[in-house]
């Protein structure tokens, strides 16, 4: 039903009242931020042509409190359509995967007509499929299209409040910003209030256009801010409020003490609110004494806090005194460091496995840090404000060694624990599957043996899942020269590499294996561990060669992949014992890995071969052709702009954009970890892809190449191509997607899988595609609703590898794996 479809929309707990619950914070204190809130309310209900209001400000200045206040007030006026409060401490609120589905759900709650329109769309295949698509496709399918015809052009306003965009992953943050611009442009009845720290991409997205209003909180006059903070402190530290926390205490702050705190706050509400929590600490249970500790610190320093740094020092010194015991320092650094550096928030019961501190000691540390770290009802510790980790990890700001958290040391400790956890749990057939009589997927095998999700969770608990997926992220920052760390790494590589592949397959995270091994090989360059290096190289070849098999069936790591691994390889010799579980012995496998990573056909006599300075790429040149190759994977990763002005190369050294005119490097994007590359007509836009993720890069704004947008697909992609009018075609497992890179909307989807070659006609009206089943399809893409091809043929004996059009668009050619070339009519596909 409509109602059930709406209820099933994926959504994050990110509404403004969820923020209040999680942060235990409320609106602006009555009488504060009066002028600003009045101006914002006037903008919401007024006739200002701008559709977006950007409230920017430094950390701790009170942006989220303002956002919560305006959302609450507009909600009371029945003008709040939706809200979303980002947080990097929450797995659902630090990215954009559920952003527009959460907004769509709230719009359904907001207005019955909206619910009917969105509910109708969710009943269709396009609507239900959009739920798992990229944010842009969710916006288009679930909000813009269904609401387009039912919202009067001048009706409204309908406000969306988005807080802390800077706490969203940068790539997703940019995607959200672009999407919100598209929303207010397509549906002018909507307005958006957005809060963020100053972000470099804001100016790029908005440019010099007048489509938004900008206000910087730090521009408010000092006397106004000081007055607001004094009003807040007088209330919070009054006798009435103190007795809510300490009923037997007859204490309240004096005017002199309030004046000292106002000076100390220095315009930052975070200092004032943290000071209140510190003074009213229930553990200390003595607000007067707590206040005196702060005042003594002021007297010793002979000046108020210049900024947050000094204030945090005061807070932490009451937990970690100058001359305290070393065990206290280690416990504090281990607990706080783990909370800051885990790759996603973990409950205390899981966190305890990643640090050498017992559960009660962790809770003891958190109890004494309540003013800076909150422990929610879900038992997940969260940093109250991100200015705290910024300070505590910066040696120039946090000058006290026993207070400072060293990222390298913390990551090393977590890496060691990850290896120890994997040593404890990883083993052959960790899920207890029976030996398959045939090739069987993980899902089918688990169902056949009646292994439930709960049983799989017990066999692969959360701490093991975390360790398997993220150990390399921590190792990348750790000190690889540490003796204990090297021992653990060597033991893992020698004993559990294949067990690790098996576990990753079962939890659907096998794609993290390539990057993890790549990270280790990179950091091992300075070590002398030759055997470990070779074993890891074998592992990389192994997972690359047998990825599809292992991804589908974990146990075929041993049944299918290992028996066909070269028998002289270090990996095979180290893990040959794992073949003892197999029903059949397989003889006749290769002795060595192929001398060539791949058999590369240039097509012409090669005159010259040149490698790059870092040896990650090489070029082969003939009299008629230049080809650029990735020297590590042997992939031919190069794309040329249609106007011949630029070409892009992709290798382990990153994405690089080059000028044909002078051969100079235009720009670079590092750490892309992608394997596909496409370039727009004039080289102003590049697309890279890996797995189910497509990233768009700008080629116009210098070095490094700025990221424009990230598209998240439902399935693995095969290839990409740009048309001359800059439509991007993406071939994935579930079909071919057409994406308009100018307005950020998905245009259409064609059912044709899996595509291995794509090519647009020169006039951008036709799209040709070939697949691994030797089929050739041709579509007219001018009609987005016409999903049926103009022509469909199966003439090639093997998969189609290449497609190309004549310059006049009257013919296109297809090439198959066996070298066969067919020529087709570009109009009707015959």
Tell me the pLDDT tens digit for each residue of 46-64.
887 788 998 887 667 788 8
| pLDDT for residue 595 | 45
| pLDDT for residue 703 | 61
Side-chain-facing half-sphere of 29: CA atoms under 13 Å: 16
Q: Please check the confidence at residue 811 and state whether its pLDDT lies above 70.
A: yes
Residue with the two structure tokens 């015991």: 325
Better-predicted residue by pLDDT, 576 or 782 = 576
Better-predicted residue by pLDDT, 477 or 270 = 477
684 DSSP assignment: S
| pLDDT for residue 673 | 54
Indicate the average pLDDT of the chain. Answer: 81
| pLDDT for residue 660 | 65
Q: Exposed, middle or buried by CB within 10 Å (0-12, 13-18, 19+), for 607? A: exposed
Q: Determine contact, residues 196/164, Cβ cutoff 8 Å.
A: yes
Two tokens, residue 606? 């090669």
- Give the Cβ contact number of residue 464 at 10 Å: 20
218 DSSP assignment: G
Query: What residues have CB less than 8 Å from 17, skipping those under 6 apart?
Result: 72
Q: Identify the CA nearest to 632 among candidates 541, 766, 732, 759.
A: 541
DSSP bridge pairs for 177: none
Report the alpha-carbon distance of residue 290 to residue 288 in Å, rounded.
Answer: 5
Complete DSSP assignment for 693-756: EEEEEESSS-SSPPEEEEEE-SS-EEEEEE-TT-EEEEEETTEEEEEETTTTEEEEEE---SEE
Q: Determine contact, residues 417/354, Cβ cutoff 8 Å.
A: yes
| pLDDT for residue 489 | 95
Two tokens, residue 557? 């790591």
Tell me the pLDDT tens digit for each residue of 364-390.
888 878 767 877 778 888 887 767 888
Report the alpha-carbon distance of residue 693 to residue 324 in Å, rounded.
Answer: 49
Report the alpha-carbon distance of residue 433 to residue 427 in Å, rounded.
Answer: 12
DSSP bridge pairs for 52: 192, 212
| pLDDT for residue 502 | 95
Better-predicted residue by pLDDT, 376 or 814 = 814
CA angle 171, 176, 181 (to 5 degrees): 130
Residue 792 has phi, psi (to 5 degrees) of -145, 125
Report the alpha-carbon distance of residue 626 to residue 646 in Å, rounded.
Answer: 14
Q: Please check the confidence at residue 787 and state whether its pLDDT lies above 60.
A: yes
Tell me the pLDDT tens digit for each residue of 166-224.
888 767 888 888 889 889 888 889 999 999 877 656 655 665 455 677 777 767 777 88
| pLDDT for residue 763 | 87
Better-predicted residue by pLDDT, 333 or 676 = 333
Confidence of residue 743 (pLDDT cuts 50, 70, 90): low
Report the alpha-carbon distance of residue 308 to residue 532 in Å, rounded.
Answer: 46
Of 20-24, 319-323, 583-587, the range with the highest mean pLDDT is: 319-323
Tell me the pLDDT tens digit for each residue of 481-508.
888 999 999 999 999 999 999 999 999 8
525-534, 566-575, 664-673, 752-761: range with lowest mean pLDDT = 664-673
Q: Determine contact, residues 235/279, Cβ cutoff 8 Å.
A: no
Report the alpha-carbon distance of residue 294 to residue 257 in Å, rounded.
Answer: 10
Residue 684 has phi, psi (to 5 degrees) of -80, -15
Q: Identify the CA nearest to 758 among candidates 788, 723, 790, 809.
A: 723
In terms of residues, how long is the chain? 830
| pLDDT for residue 109 | 92
- Give the rounded distance of the alpha carbon of 188 from its chain centre: 30
Q: Please check the confidence at residue 804 and state whether its pLDDT lies above 70.
A: yes
Residue with the two structure tokens 């259409």: 748
Alpha helices in 379-496 (DSSP H): 387-392, 407-425, 442-448, 453-459, 462-475, 483-495
Tell me the pLDDT tens digit for each residue of 32-46.
888 888 889 999 988
Tell me the pLDDT tens digit for each residue of 704-740.
676 677 777 767 778 888 888 888 888 877 788 888 7
**Sign of the CA dihedral running 782, 786, 790, 791:** positive
Tell me the pLDDT tens digit for each residue of 406-445.
999 999 999 999 999 999 999 999 998 887 656 778 888 8
| pLDDT for residue 614 | 46
Q: Please check the confidence at residue 612 and state whether its pLDDT lies above 50.
A: no
| pLDDT for residue 628 | 54
Complete DSSP assignment for 529-587: -HHHHHHHHHHHHHHHHSHHHHHH-TTHIIIIIGGGS-TTSHHHHHHGGGGGG-SS---
Residue with the two structure tokens 């802390």: 164
Task: Sort strands 755-760 and 766-771 into parallel, antiparallel or unpaired.
Answer: antiparallel
Report the alpha-carbon distance of residue 152 to residue 149 in Å, rounded.
Answer: 8
Report the alpha-carbon distance of residue 513 to residue 640 in Å, rounded.
Answer: 31
DSSP bridge pairs for 80: 159
Q: Please check the confidence at residue 615 and state whether its pLDDT lies above 60.
A: no
Task: Sort strands 158-163 and 80-85 into parallel, antiparallel or unpaired.
Answer: parallel
Percent of the chain with pLDDT over 70: 82
Query: What residues have CB less than 8 Å from 516, skipping those under 6 apart?
Result: 471, 472
Could you give the C-alpha distances from 424 to 427, 461, 495, in angstroms and in order? 9, 12, 12
Report the alpha-carbon distance of residue 499 to residue 700 in Å, rounded.
Answer: 46
Q: Please check the confidence at residue 87 and state whether its pLDDT lies above 80.
A: yes
138-152, 377-391, 753-767: range with lowest mean pLDDT = 377-391
| pLDDT for residue 597 | 42
| pLDDT for residue 354 | 94
| pLDDT for residue 488 | 94
Confidence of residue 586 (pLDDT cuts 50, 70, 90): low
Q: Identify the CA nearest to 267 among candidates 230, 235, 239, 236.
A: 230
Two tokens, residue 579? 């073949």
Report the alpha-carbon distance of residue 47 to residue 45 in Å, rounded.
Answer: 7
Confidence of residue 599 (pLDDT cuts 50, 70, 90): very low
- Give the Cβ contact number of residue 259 at 10 Å: 15
Mean pLDDT of the 779-788 span = 70
What is the C-alpha radius of gyration for the chain, rounded to an integer number of angstroms? 30
Report the alpha-carbon distance of residue 688 to residue 639 in Å, rounded.
Answer: 10
| pLDDT for residue 391 | 83
Better-predicted residue by pLDDT, 664 or 129 = 129
Query: What residues have CB less than 8 Å from 685, skipping those under 6 apart?
Result: 679, 696, 697, 698, 699, 708, 722, 726, 741
Q: Please check the confidence at residue 474 and state whether its pLDDT lies above 60.
A: yes
């Amino acid at each position: 039903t409509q109602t059930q479809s709406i209820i099933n929309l994926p959504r994050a707990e990110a509404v403004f009242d969820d923020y209040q619950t999680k942060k235990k914070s409320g609106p602006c204190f009555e009488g504060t931020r009066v002028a600003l809130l009045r101006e914002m309310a006037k903008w919401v209900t007024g006739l200002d042509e701008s559709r977006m209001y950007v409230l920017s400000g430094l950390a701790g200045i009170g942006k989220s409190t303002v956002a919560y206040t305006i959302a609450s007030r507009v909600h009371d006026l029945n003008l709040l359509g939706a809200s979303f409060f980002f947080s990097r401490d929450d797995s659902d609120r630090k990215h954009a995967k559920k952003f527009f589905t959460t907004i769509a759900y709230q719009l359904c709650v907001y207005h019955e007509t909206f619910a009917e329109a969105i509910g109708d769309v969710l009943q269709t295949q396009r609507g239900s499929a959009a739920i798992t698509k990229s944010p842009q496709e969710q916006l288009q399918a679930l909000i813009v299209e269904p609401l387009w015809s039912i919202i009067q052009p001048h009706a409204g306003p309908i406000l969306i409040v988005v807080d802390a965009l800077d706490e969203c992953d940068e790539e997703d943050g940019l995607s959200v910003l672009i999407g919100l611009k598209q929303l207010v442009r397509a549906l002018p009845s909507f307005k958006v209030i957005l809060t963020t720290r100053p972000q470099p991409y804001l100016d790029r997205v908005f440019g010099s256009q007048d489509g938004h209003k900008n206000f910087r909180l730090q521009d408010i006059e000092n006397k106004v801010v000081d007055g607001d903070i004094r009003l807040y402190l007088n209330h919070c530290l009054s006798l009435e409020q103190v007795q809510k926390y300490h009923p037997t205490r007859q204490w309240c702050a004096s005017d002199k003490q309030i004046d000292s705190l106002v000076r100390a706050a220095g315009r930052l509400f975070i200092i004032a609110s943290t000071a209140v929590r510190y003074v009213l600490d229930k553990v200390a249970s003595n607000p007067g004494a707590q206040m005196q500790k702060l005042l003594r610190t002021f007297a010793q320093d002979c000046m108020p806090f210049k900024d947050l740094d000094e204030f945090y020092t005061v807070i932490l010194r009451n937990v970690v005194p100058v001359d305290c015991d070393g065990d206290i320092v280690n416990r504090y650094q281990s607990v706080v460091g783990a909370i800051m550096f885990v790759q996603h928030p973990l409950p205390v019961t899981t966190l305890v496995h990643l640090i050498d501190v017992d559960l009660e000691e962790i809770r003891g540390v958190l109890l004494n840090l309540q003013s800076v770290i909150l422990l929610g009802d879900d038992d997940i510790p969260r940093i109250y404000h991100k200015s705290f980790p910024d300070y505590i990890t910066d040696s120039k700001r946090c000058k006290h060694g026993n207070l400072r958290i060293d990222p390298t040391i913390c990551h090393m400790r977590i890496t060691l624990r990850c290896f120890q956890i994997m040593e404890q749990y990883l083993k052959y057939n960790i899920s207890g599957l029976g030996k398959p009589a045939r090739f069987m997927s993980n899902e089918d095998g688990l169902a056949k043996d009646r292994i439930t999700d709960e049983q799989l969770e017990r066999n692969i608990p959360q701490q093991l899942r975390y360790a398997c997926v993220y150990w390399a992220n921590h190792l990348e920052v750790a000190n690889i020269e540490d003796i204990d760390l090297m021992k653990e790494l060597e033991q893992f590589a020698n004993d559990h590499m294949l067990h690790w592949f098996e576990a990753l397959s079962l939890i659907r995270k096998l794609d993290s294996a390539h990057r993890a091994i790549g990270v280790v090989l990179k950091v091992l360059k300075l070590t002398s561990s030759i055997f470990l290096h070779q074993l890891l190289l074998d592992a990389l070849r192994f997972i690359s060669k047998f990825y599809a098999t292992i991804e589908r069936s974990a146990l075929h790591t041993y049944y299918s992949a290992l028996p066909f691994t070269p028998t002289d390889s270090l990996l095979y010799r180290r893990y040959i014992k794992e073949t003892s579980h197999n029903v059949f012995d397989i003889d006749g496998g290769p002795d060595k890995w192929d001398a060539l990573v791949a058999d590369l056909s240039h097509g012409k006599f090669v005159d010259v071969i040149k490698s790059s300075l870092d040896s990650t790429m090489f070029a082969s040149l003939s009299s008629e052709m230049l080809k650029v190759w990735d020297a590590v994977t042997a992939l031919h990763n190069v794309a040329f702009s249609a106007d011949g002005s630029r070409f892009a190369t992709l290798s382990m050294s990153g994405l690089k954009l080059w000028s044909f005119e002078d051969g100079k490097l235009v720009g670079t994007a590092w750490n892309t970890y992608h394997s596909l590359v496409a370039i727009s007509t004039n080289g102003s836009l590049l697309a890279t892809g890996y797995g189910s993720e497509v990233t768009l890069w700008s080629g116009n704004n210098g070095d490094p190449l700025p990221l424009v947008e990230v598209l998240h697909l439902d399935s693995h992609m095969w290839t990409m191509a740009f048309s001359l009018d800059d439509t991007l075609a993406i071939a994935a497992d579930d079909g071919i997607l057409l994406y308009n890179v100018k307005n950020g909307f998905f245009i259409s989807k064609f059912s044709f899988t899996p595509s291995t070659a794509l090519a647009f006609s020169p006039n951008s009206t036709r799209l040709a595609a070939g697949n691994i089943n030797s089929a050739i399809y041709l579509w007219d893409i001018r009609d987005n609703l016409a999903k049926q091809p103009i022509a469909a043929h199966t003439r090639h004996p093997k998969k189609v590898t290449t497609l190309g059009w004549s310059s006049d668009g009257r013919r296109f050619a297809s090439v198959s794996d066996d070298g066969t070339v067919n020529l087709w009519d570009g109009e009707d596909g015959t």
